[in-house]
């Protein structure tokens, strides 16, 4: 097959968010941190990873606490959940603030009557490209959100999570291979692996599992914005010939949140069409 005839993986019903739920999370109470999404162009924006996870988890029977620093965006996610007949509620929280994290976990557990799962879909990339452009302010800001924030979430959630509950971190293949040209972002995502493994080790005492999903290039509002700032991102070769959808990331998260992965912990799953494995 020539380059001109390169295979493009067609989207499935799951890829497009059209597949029905199968009750895989019936009765679960899940907190999704970063369940809103940034609006770039409201008319054309695809679904983001966090919103897709919230909708999918609710579609599969879970009650979902949608936490985001943007309360309006979180409320839109809840509106979409309720439009499908699901259950969700909004929590406004900025995980760079310790007090917000403490209040967020307490509110989620109180309003849902407990906590059976935690999905951490957080991450920012700020500052100039390359080491020469790094400032200590930008470095601390990125590490504060991308690493310190998830640590605080796990610290607060671990004591209240029901035995056997899953924790899923949404990271990036930038934590597995250099490429974003944002040193703080790459470093924070790589360090998230160390945090995840510790949480998995400590959580094992009560059967709490912790795993990472490392998305590759994903067609989300944030991804499109990143490509506008760095056009080479959009030109990167993808083995399956297209970027992932937010739904495809959400289905990977569903696997790790559900009992289908009950014997999986301390692992990183790259959802990147093979960019880190065969490219």
Backbone angles phi, psi at 243, to 5 degrees: -80, 160
Q: Each residue of 142-161: b (16+ CB within 10 Å) or e?
A: bbbbbbbbbbbbbebbbeeb
Distance in angstroms (rounded) separating the CA atoms of residues 51 and 143: 23
Distances (CA, A) of 170 to 62, 133, 256: 19, 26, 11
State the catalytic residue, choosing from 7, 185, 251, 263: 185
Helix (H, G, I), strand (E, B) or coil at 4: helix
Distance in angstroms (rounded) separating the CA atoms of residues 182 and 159: 34
List 214's β-bridge partners, or say none.
270
Distance in angstroms (rounded) separating the CA atoms of residues 139 and 153: 20
- The answer to whether residue 185 is catalytic is yes
Contacts with 221 (C-beta within 8 Å, 6 or more apart), sequence order: 37, 38, 39, 40, 41, 45, 46, 48
Distance in angstroms (rounded) separating the CA atoms of residues 250 and 260: 15
In this structure, are residues 96 and 119 in contact, taking their beta carbons and an 8 Å threshold? no
Residue with tokens 């949608």: 66
Neighbour tally for 47: CB within 10 Å = 24
Tokens linked to 250: 């959400």
Active site members: 185
């Amino acid at each position: 097959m020539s380059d001109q005839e390169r295979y493009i993986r067609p989207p499935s019903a799951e890829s497009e968010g059209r597949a029905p739920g199968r009750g895989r999370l019936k009765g679960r109470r899940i907190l999704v941190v970063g369940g809103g999404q940034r609006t770039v162009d409201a008319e054309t924006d695809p679904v983001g990873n966090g919103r897709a996870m919230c909708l999918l988890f609710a579609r599969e029977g879970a009650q979902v606490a949608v936490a985001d620093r943007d309360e309006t965006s979180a409320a839109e996610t809840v509106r979409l959940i309720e439009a499908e007949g699901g259950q969700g509620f909004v929590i406004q929280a900025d995980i760079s603030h310790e007090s917000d994290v403490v209040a967020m976990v307490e509110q989620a557990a109180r309003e849902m009557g407990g906590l059976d799962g935690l999905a951490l879909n957080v991450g920012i990339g700020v500052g100039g490209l390359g080491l020469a452009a790094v400032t200590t302010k930008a470095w601390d800001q990125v590490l504060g959100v991308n690493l310190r924030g998830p640590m605080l979430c796990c610290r607060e959630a671990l004591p209240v999570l029901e035995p056997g509950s899953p924790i899923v971190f949404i990271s990036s293949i930038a934590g597995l291979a250099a490429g974003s040209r944002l040193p703080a972002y790459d470093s924070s995502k790589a360090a998230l692996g160390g945090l995840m493994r510790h949480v998995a080790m400590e959580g094992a005492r009560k059967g709490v599992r912790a795993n990472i999903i490392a998305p590759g290039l994903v067609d989300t509002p944030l991804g499109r914005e990143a490509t506008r700032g760095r056009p080479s991102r959009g030109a990167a070769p993808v083995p399956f010939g297209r970027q992932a959808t937010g739904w495809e990331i959400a289905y990977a998260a569903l696997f790790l949140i559900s009992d289908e992965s009950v014997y999986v912990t301390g692992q990183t799953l790259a959802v990147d069409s093979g960019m880190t494995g065969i490219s």
